[in-house]
Amino acid sequence: MLRWIRQQLGFDPPHQSETRTVYVANRFPQHGHYIPQRFADNRIISSKYTIWNFVPKNLFEQFRRIANFYFLIIFLVQLMIDTPTSPVTSGLPLFFVITVTAIKQGYEDWLRHKADNEVNGAPVFVVRSGSLVQTRSKNIRVGDIVRVAKDETFPADLVLLSSDRADGTCHITTASLDGETNLKTHYSVAETSVCQSVSQLEALQAVVECQQPEADLYRFVGRVTVTQHGEEIVRPLGPENLLLRGARLKNTKEIFGVAVYTGMESKMALNYKCKSQKRSAVEKSMNTFLLIYLGILLSEAVLSTILKYAWQAEDKWDEPFYNQKTDQERNSSPILKFISDFLAFLVLYNFIIPISLYVTVEMQKFLGSFFIGWDLDLYHEESDQKAQVNTSDLNEELGQVEYVFTDKTGTLTENEMQFRECSISGTKYREVNGKLVPEGMTDDSPDGSTPHLVGEELLFLKAVSLCHTVQISYDQPDCLVGGGDPFSHVNGFSSNHMEYYASSPDEKALVEAAKRIGVAFTGTSGDTMEIKTFGKTEKYKLLHVLEFDADRRRMSVILQTPSGGQVLFTKGAESAILPFTTSGEIEKTRLHVDEFALKGLRTLVVACRHFSPEEYIDVDRRLNAARTALQQREERLQEAFSYIERDLQLLGATGVEDKLQDKVQETIEALRLAGIKVWVLTGDKHETAVSVSLSCGHFHRTMNILELLQQRSDNECAEQLRRLARRIKEDHVIQHGLVVDGASLSLALREHEKLFMEVCKNCSAVLCCRMAPLQKAKVVRLLKTSPEKPITLAIGDGANDVSMIQEAHVGIGIMGKEGRQAVRNSDYAIARFKFLAKLLLVHGHFYYIRIATLVQYFFYKNVCFITPQFLYQFFCLFSQQTLYDSVYLTLYNICFTSLPILVYSLFEQLVHPHVLQSKPGLYRDISKNAMLSFRTFLYWTLLGFCHAFVFFFGSYILMGEDTTLMGNGQILRANRQLMFGNWTFGTLVFTVMVITVTLKLALETHFWTWMNHFVTWGSIAFYFIFSLFYGGIIWPFLHTQDMYFVFVQLLSSGSAWFAIIIIVITCLFPDVVKKVFYRHLHPTSTQKSQMYSNRVAIGDDFIALQPLSRAKSQLGKIR
């Protein structure tokens, strides 16, 4: 019991050992020493709250925000002490903000609960008590045997026991996990593959031992012990035996598997890692401004308290005849009185901190993010994909990017490979009309004739056709199911009957090229691979696959040839193959590989090794020993692979072209003109990467290319960096480009970060090649944390780009051919690299300007709101008398001034979108958080104070001069009495303020829509209508009604109207003069562009957004 409690509290995790033991069909041992292990149930929980913890947990999260917590304290102070304003004035806005946020978060969590319940309640079939039982997915336990039918998804991580195929294999797709759409073959061990019926499975005695759950989708280490006739048979289990939750069964009627990882311990669930919360530069500025305003608030409260006691030093003001103190007040502690007065002033001035700022910013970000998805210019018609927003919190950060880190393959290029050239035994060949033609020769053989290929050429093509993980799909996908000749479908095949699927586009291009030339891969059945060499069928037995990994950068297969010999075929990067070759045309091939790379082709080197029977026995023993190891299996496999993949005979090399995406060059040039530095981070060899960089405009032909390559030691690397730094200072070249490889980068980052950064910052373009995924993230982090703290953006399309995307301030996924992992982990996703220009230069520009103005305007209007309250204390002996009615205090930020700024922040366009795209330099005007600089913030704050002084003293002077105040607080004019006292004066100030702050925003608005007009004039009209109703009727539920008939009487005075007009003009006229003066004498480039866009907006074709018919059809597709 104690252990269970400790587990629930998290002190004693259930997984004590490094491995878990799973008894198939939960057939536990009968002896008494067995202690069952605890495993998670099969429920998936993506929700954050439950019905019980929603209120406390949500409130806790919301009050972690400084502003919310501050207003809660103010509200509690109002409840505890006698304050000049009602607790409702701060409690109602706080309640509104908390409620709106809670409803939004609760609704989002309800949707997650709904999705979870659908998944957890899905029907599944489980073998129990000798029969198939239907149950819900959430009821699956570790050890249960689960049956999955064709096209169903796997409900848990299962070890494959058997399928309806005789060889116990099945095909799956993992598109929902890693985005790869190719068919993958998974295997069962021979001892369990024969158990194809429920009765056989019920009689199966087997135990699976495997590692505890981990997130790596491609790693699984285990073994299965099958007891047959009293004998225990041990077989290794690897990733090829594990069927992951979320994957889908294809081309197989049904399978049976034993559940080893369930629920939140499945690999899919472990990959639901919470991304670190990214915060934009605007949000950080906003928090800084809040602290400054908190300082202003405290200063005003302290000053008011001190002045109150200074004033009350005179007896006549300390206890005037009309306000005698009670005995309790006379005897109370002076310190407590001081604290109480300080808190009362704090409450009185607290509205200088805008509580509704947060909720308005959240609404602006959430609603504004829809514009990216609706933009037809970001819609890719061929793939029917629109841009998507995964994180709306970073919209404005798109307008602040200083560095772009981009992947090459699939991001700058199409990731559509075309075979172009190859090198075989030192001779270069190219493909012409489906034939291999040596360099310098033309294809003059008549069509239909069989090309003559010598032994080396044929062996090379066979290696390309057999060394891969390609799958084949046929017109009748079920033709492999069941018995019969597994290759019957390829008799007399044509290219119409089959299609190759591969996780790597390179592999697919090479296998298709070999097929066109005459050596066609026609399928796999069990451990047999079949090829057709110019119509003649050959069958090879697949003995072992040495899987590709990022460290070795090669993959190999060991086959038994039709003649009975054993051969290893291997292919990989030239740096991973050539050092291990001992025969063949090594130097010539190396030269050819470099030539291919200079043309921008992706290169692979192909080699082979023939084994003697004794050598193969040793190889087989080493591989089996490594694969059955439960501890350090990866290390032992690497040792075995290194032992096998040596003494290779070089066969040749291939060159595959990856086309550049459309408008990549124009996009990179636009980013450069916008002041954004572009870094390309790729895993390709440096010649290929440089060639592509030159062709896409990342490097210019006139650019001075600096190299930091193949550095062997720290000292060597440091010396080279110093040389490069000297060259940059000495060379009078406008632009430098830097090429660095992964090995040299590791050395540079280890000891010489500052020197490396100094070189990089003086280069306008940097290319990093031979990069591992984590190195990409390290480079981004290096720039991100440098002293200048630049805003970074990472863009990529593959799983290897995820770490870089998550590390950068803004991560963008490309919806490419390398899956959806990058898209799922990104903040934004687009279909093509060319869309990045509009995303940054237009959407980023708009979002930043909108939210920067929103934040500063909010502070401005709250300074205007509270400063008259502070000034009023000088006229009421600091008695904490409020200037405004409590209803006005409450509704100022919620109703009277909230909608115009929200609409402005959604629709404002300083410059026409086409002008922003055609003049990328305008992006520089808003870089480095220019519109939220301290100078701009100071301007808006001082403007607020100036306007507040005009509101207060303008009302005081104009109304005071025009009227004769009587002792009873009334004025006499034209033989009738008009109430003119505290509330009338406060209402006049408030009326002037609402009109002025609304019209101030109207002056800032450049792009007027019907909605702007509606909310601007509607807000002013709503204020007047509300005030008339509020003060014109006696409301029975109000205890006091100080405002009764005040507003009506105020508006019946001509002098009041005159005062309103004069004060509003006095406030705004200097603004208008300043704008006109600066625009004509010192116009910014943005203001010049505004005049240009106004001239060309009407009647110029290129300014037209879309033809109406095309816009309608495309919009229909998006919906």
pLDDT of 1086 over the 80 cut: no
CA distance 470 to 498: 12
φ, ψ at 253 (rounded to 5°): -65, -50
What mean pLDDT is predicted for residues 370-381? 87
pLDDT of 1098 over the 70 cut: no
Name, in order, each residue with C-beta under 8 angstroms of 154's C-beta and a sequence gap of 6 or more.
Answer: 146, 148, 172, 243, 244, 245, 246, 247, 248, 249, 257
pTM of the predicted model over 0.75:
no
Select which of 157, 375, 407, 658 is catalytic: 407
Helix (H) or strand (E) holding 602: strand 601-611
Under the banding of pLDDT at 50, 70 and 90, the label for residue 482 is very low
pLDDT given at position 136 = 92
Query: In degrees, to the nearest 5, what angle opens at C-alpha 955 toward C-alphas 951 and 961?
Result: 150
User: Residue 385 gets which letter from DSSP?
Assistant: B
Strand-pair category, 828-830 with 427-432: unpaired
pLDDT given at position 965 = 34
Q: Where are the alpha helices (DSSP H) in 81-233?
A: 88-120, 175-178, 190-193, 198-203
pLDDT of 317 over the 60 cut: no
pLDDT given at position 904 = 92
What mean pLDDT is predicted for residues 379-395? 82
CA 62 from centroid of its chain's CA atoms? 23
Under the banding of pLDDT at 50, 70 and 90, the label for residue 448 is very low
CA distance 739 to 707: 5
- Percent of the chain exceeding pLDDT 70 equals 82
Among residues 854, 757, 794, the alpha carbon closest in space to that of 402 is found at 794
Q: Which amino acid is at 965?
A: L
pLDDT given at position 148 = 93
For residue 305, CA distances in Å to 90, 768, 794 come to 21, 63, 53
Cβ contact 1007:908 at 8 Å: yes
pLDDT per residue as tens digits for the range 104-120: 778 777 877 887 888 88
Cβ contact 933:852 at 8 Å: no
- Considering only 72-76, 149-153, 975-979, which range has the smallest mean pLDDT? 975-979
For residue 1100, CA distances in Å to 605, 878, 1104 come to 55, 63, 7
The more confident residue out of 30 and 212 is: 212
pLDDT given at position 568 = 93
For residue 642, CA distances in Å to 463, 552, 619, 639, 842 come to 20, 9, 11, 5, 52
Helix (H) or strand (E) holding 215: none
Q: What string of H, E and C letters represents the secondary structure of 739-788?
A: EEEHHHHHHHHHHCHHHHHHHHHCCCEEEEECCCHHHHHHHHHHHHCCCC
pLDDT of 592 over the 70 cut: yes
pLDDT of 1111 over the 70 cut: no
pLDDT given at position 1017 = 93
Among residues 932, 992, 911, the alpha carbon closest in space to that of 958 is found at 992
State the DSSP string of 692-746.
HHHHTTSS-TTSEEEEE----SHHHHHHHHHHHHHHHHH---S-EEEEEEHHHHH
For the chain, the residue count is 1119
Under the banding of pLDDT at 50, 70 and 90, the label for residue 1044 is low
pLDDT of 606 over the 90 cut: yes
Strand-pair category, 403-406 with 677-681: parallel
Q: What SS3 class is residue 335?
A: helix
Among residues 794, 779, 784, 776, the alpha carbon closest in space to that of 683 is found at 776
CA distance 149 to 130: 19
pLDDT given at position 746 = 81
pLDDT per residue as tens digits for the range 878-901: 777 788 887 888 788 888 888 999
Cβ contact 160:266 at 8 Å: no
Highest mean pLDDT of the ranges 324-328, 402-406, 959-963, 1098-1102: 402-406
Task: Give all strands of the β-sheet with 222-228 in edge-to-edge order.
Answer: 19-23, 206-211, 222-228, 231-237
In the chain, how long is the greatest CA-to-CA distance?
125
Under the banding of pLDDT at 50, 70 and 90, the label for residue 262 is very high
pLDDT per residue as tens digits for the range 194-208: 888 888 888 888 999
pLDDT of 189 over the 70 cut: yes
Under the banding of pLDDT at 50, 70 and 90, the label for residue 485 is very low
What mean pLDDT is predicted for residues 493-506? 64
Among residues 19, 256, 246, 29, the alpha carbon closest in space to that of 144 is found at 256
The more confident residue out of 160 and 6 is: 160
Rg over CA atoms, the chain: 37
φ, ψ at 261 (rounded to 5°): -125, 130
pLDDT given at position 949 = 92
Is 407 noted as a catalytic residue in this protein?
yes
Name, in order, each residue with C-beta under 8 angstroms of 1044's C-beta and a sequence gap of 6 or more.
Answer: 1031, 1034
State the DSSP string of 850-863.
HHHHHHHHHHHHHH
Place of tokens 């009957």: 497
pLDDT given at position 180 = 55
Cβ contact 645:557 at 8 Å: no
Six-digit token string for 706:
């600096």
CA distance 297 to 611: 84
Among residues 818, 883, 933, 861, the alpha carbon closest in space to that of 413 is found at 818
Helix (H) or strand (E) holding 894: none
CA distance 242 to 157: 7
Highest mean pLDDT of the ranges 407-411, 724-728, 774-778, 861-865: 861-865
Task: Tell me the sheet residues that pair with 795.
Answer: 406, 812
Q: What SS3 class is residue 809?
A: coil
pLDDT of 181 over the 70 cut: no
What mean pLDDT is predicted for residues 310-336? 63
Six-digit token string for 1118:
């998006």
Q: What string of H, E and C letters represents the secondary structure of 498-524?
A: EEEECCCHHHHHHHHHHHHHCEEEEEE
φ, ψ at 267 (rounded to 5°): -65, -35
Task: Tell me the sheet residues that pair with 133.
Answer: 126
Task: Tell me the sheet residues that pair with 533.
Answer: 519, 536
pLDDT of 807 over the 90 cut: no
pLDDT given at position 1093 = 56
Under the banding of pLDDT at 50, 70 and 90, the label for residue 476 is very low
Q: How far apart are the first and last CA of the chain?
A: 56
pLDDT per residue as tens digits for the range 915-954: 888 888 888 888 888 888 888 889 999 999 999 999 888 8
φ, ψ at 551 (rounded to 5°): -80, -45
pLDDT of 542 over the 80 cut: yes
Strand-pair category, 736-741 with 765-769: parallel
- Considering only 135-144, 163-172, 1027-1036, 1078-1087, which range has the smallest mean pLDDT? 1027-1036
pLDDT given at position 404 = 92
pLDDT given at position 174 = 74
Place of tokens 């060991």: 558
Q: What string of H, E and C letters represents the secondary structure of 403-444?
A: EEEECCCCCCEEEEEEEEEEEECCEEEEEECCEEEECCCCCC
Six-digit token string for 1089:
């562009």
Q: What string of H, E and C letters represents the secondary structure of 121-164?
A: CCEEEEEECCEEEEEEHHHCCCCCEEEEECCCECCCEEEEEEEC
**Per-position b or e across 307-318, b if 16+ CB within 10 A of its CB:** ebeeeeeeeeee
CA distance 759 to 743: 17
